[in-house]
Amino acid sequence: MSERRMQPAAQGYPAMPSRDKGFADAPNPSLEISEHEGSDSESSDGQAEKSRCCPSKQKLIFPVGVALLLGVVLALIVWLITQQQGGSKCRGFEKCPEYPLPYAFGTWPKTYNYTGRFPDGFVWGVGTASYQVEGAYREGGRGVSIWDTFTGANTIDMPGGNCSYCCKSTPCTPNEHMVDKGATGNVATNSYHMFRTDIALMKSMGLKHYRFSIAWPRIFPTGSATGEPNAEGVRWYNTFLDELLAAGIQPYVTLYHWDLPQALLSPPELSGWWARDKDGKPVGQILPNWKHYVDTCFRSFGDKVKVWVTFNEPWTSTKLASGSGKAPSIAPFMNASLDPYIAAHNMLNAHAAAVEIYRGKYQKSQGGIIGITNNQDWREPKTDSLEDIAAAERAILFQLGWFSEPIFGAYGDYPPEMRAVFGDNLPKFTDAEKKLLKGSADFFGLNHYSTGWYAATEEPGWDMTYGVSSEDGFIRAQSTWLYGAGWGLRKLLNWVKRRYNPVIYVTENGWSIGAKTAEQAANDTSRVMYYANYTTEVLSAIRQDGVDVRGYFAWSLLDNFEWEMGYPIRFGTAYVDYNPGLDSDAPLPNTHVPTAGFQLRRRKDSSCYLEQVWRENMMMPPNGVASCVQPGIFQGRYRDVTQPGCQRLVDVYVPPTSGKISGTRPGPGRTSCDNVTDITYGPASVTISGSTVVCRGCRSGSSQGFWSAGSLGIEWDDGALWQKVI
């Protein structure tokens, strides 16, 4: 065989190609093998040369190979950890998010510009919820809700009151998470009986849009999946809707504002929204009941209701309701890292099912729209570091995005950033569910109240955001969680636009202030400032940022039952004197809770400020707006618009907290006065509180009237309008 050139062992192996040189330009490390290819045997000299060469090569190959292998393994481990955590700085994100605009770090406004006009047709309204205001919890065929059980109301012998954890003997015991023990929704603001008073109040405010919810247990007392609804419940809501429309007020109706029929939650047999199969996966046990309920509502009320909301704040009624303060908060659904995500999954599928029913059977003929309302407080990065920016973004994505992404996102699924952090702990939608969810809303309902700083942490926390909030420097309301910053709402609206670009309605926004008396409550200057700052930032989002906001609803029309916090917390733009006393159906202590019968309503300054804003559809300076009218405004002569020709005289005494009414009313069989057959009206004594006049002898019961700047008269709760004779 010909002579072979062997590279001496001392010189090692040919060099590998550098990163700057291609393999074609590098020495071929396999060239040696090519020279021996096809040889049948080796000479003794060749074997001797091989015996000298190979041991040296093996000594070098082994340590280098092991080192390379270990390096690859370590690199792979680091890569896997990085992928799982989304990077050390921006956990969950493929790319670190940018600092949220429109305000750059450190440029937050300290003052606001209260000028500018809202778009034509902008919707202004206020809102309430059934359990917070209706009362009449044992009347009209209503069944037990999970909030009746949570508060410790006497539910014995009520429809649905025999669940596995329901009260078995009185006095019933409230849930451990109920802060204001003794408070219930048994009576609340008594709006089931005083709804005409509430409508008169709305008319005096010039209100044209009112958001409220239907109580599922009032339509189906035990949440039945078949059969006819409770006729009394359907009749009451139809009457209420008719009178709203007659007053020129458009209803915005929420189908579920947390008052689940108790009969659908009786573990272990019935798990409500928290139902799962033997493998722990969400299962729609409640879906047939829900579909029957919403179908019935669409059929029964859809000719009157043109705007539907499927769920109000599903985050609150799943995350907080799984052991963090809201009903039901019961075992075995108290695992914050598991149970809320089961309930949320079932609730999102229920939302999609409701929309499918409405769009398929009713929307075309009834001409309405349907959406969902989610809630989010703004989370501002505490610093402009990548870590804090990412943490703040996670906080919003893992709450608002959790319930919005499947509906308004591109894929009908949870945010990918959320899946990156939660992994397999987050339930999976089927392809059919994704298809049904995607696009299942005609508008984006947004509840917003508070703003806080958000900073990154190494611990995941109860919400897996790897962050923590703080509120240094913000003004706090009566509620311990509520801190005001109008610019936070503008930033949140921009966030929604960037992520989804939908039509938006701000469906709740409000400020709590404690008060012991009507006089104290009426002077709610900080609430006036809150509404001024927040509404002007809504206008800036519309005009300067191009956000498609179509409406704004203040929370709330009335002071009301503030869930586990009871009645001391007051969000109303109108004060309510709950006529406190004994409620034998409430848990102990029950001697200073709302009672049935007459309850005073009195407008606060914030109500009058909002009225001027929505009557003019433009911003008003909060410090330049007069407060609500003083009692002396009632002094004078009136004509009764509803009884033509009839005259009324209101005399206001000094001090202006009382007076009398006199005048004329139609004679027998007549609906108007003719100065011949007229009958004397009164005199009847009245009491006056701000812009509210109460006549206790005008009819069989007490009657409330409210001064109306729009009609320059008194809107009475029997539908009468007395216009002042100037």
Q: What is the DSSP letter of 705?
A: E
Residue 472 in tokens: 């240094």
Residue 170 in tokens: 């009185």
Cβ neighbourhood burial of 234 (10 Å; 0-12, 13-18, 19+):
buried
Contact between residue 330 and residue 175 where contact means Cβ atoms under 8 Å apart: yes
* Nearest in space to 217 (alpha carbons), one of 188, 184, 187, 258: 258
Q: Any catalytic annotation for residue 356? A: no
Q: Which residue has the tokens 């393999």?
A: 23
* Nearest in space to 530 (alpha carbons), one of 483, 481, 592, 498: 483
Q: What is the DSSP letter of 318?
A: I
* Nearest in space to 337 (alpha carbons), one of 464, 458, 465, 177: 464
Phi, psi of 638 (to 5 degrees): -135, 155
Q: What is the DSSP letter of 19?
A: T
Q: How many CB atoms lie within 10 A of CB 698?
A: 19
Residue 25 in tokens: 């330009």
Contact between residue 347 and residue 380 where contact means Cβ atoms under 8 Å apart: no
* Nearest-angstrom CA–CA distance, 353 and 372: 12
Residue 657 in tokens: 């907290």
Catalytic site residue from 380, 508, 564, 715? 508
* Nearest in space to 685 (alpha carbons), one of 664, 661, 653, 666: 661
* Nearest in space to 703 (alpha carbons), one of 714, 562, 179: 714
Contact between residue 114 and residue 538 where contact means Cβ atoms under 8 Å apart: no
Residue 533 in tokens: 């700052």
Fill in the amino acid letter for 477: A
* Nearest in space to 444 (alpha carbons), one of 499, 503, 497, 490: 503
Q: Is residue 423 left, alpha or beta, with left meaning phi > 0 and alpha meaning psi from -120 to 50?
A: left
| 451-456 β-sheet, strand order | 378-381, 451-456, 467-470
Label each residue of 647-674 as H, E or C. EEEEEECCCCCEEEEEEEECCCCCCCCC
Instruction: Compute the 3-state secondary structure of the chain and give helix, strand, coil in percent, each to the nearest 5.
Output: 35, 20, 45
Label each residue of 474-503 as H, E or C. CEECCCCCCEECHHHHHHHHHHHHHHCCCC
Q: What is the C-alpha R_g of the chain?
A: 34
Q: How far is CA 632 from its chain centroid? A: 41
Fill in the amino acid letter for 23: F
Contact between residue 557 and residue 574 where contact means Cβ atoms under 8 Å apart: yes
* Nearest-angstrom CA–CA distance, 44 and 26: 32
* Nearest in space to 177 (alpha carbons), one of 147, 211, 208: 147
Contact between residue 217 and residue 262 where contact means Cβ atoms under 8 Å apart: yes
Q: Which residue has the tokens 């034998």?
A: 584
* Nearest-angstrom CA–CA distance, 197 and 214: 19
Q: Any catalytic annotation for residue 313? A: yes
* Nearest-angstrom CA–CA distance, 710 and 615: 9
Residue 679 in tokens: 């009958």
Q: Tell me how far CA of residue 349 lies from CA of 286, 403, 417, 462, in angstroms.
A: 11, 11, 21, 24
**Catalytic positions, please?**
313, 508
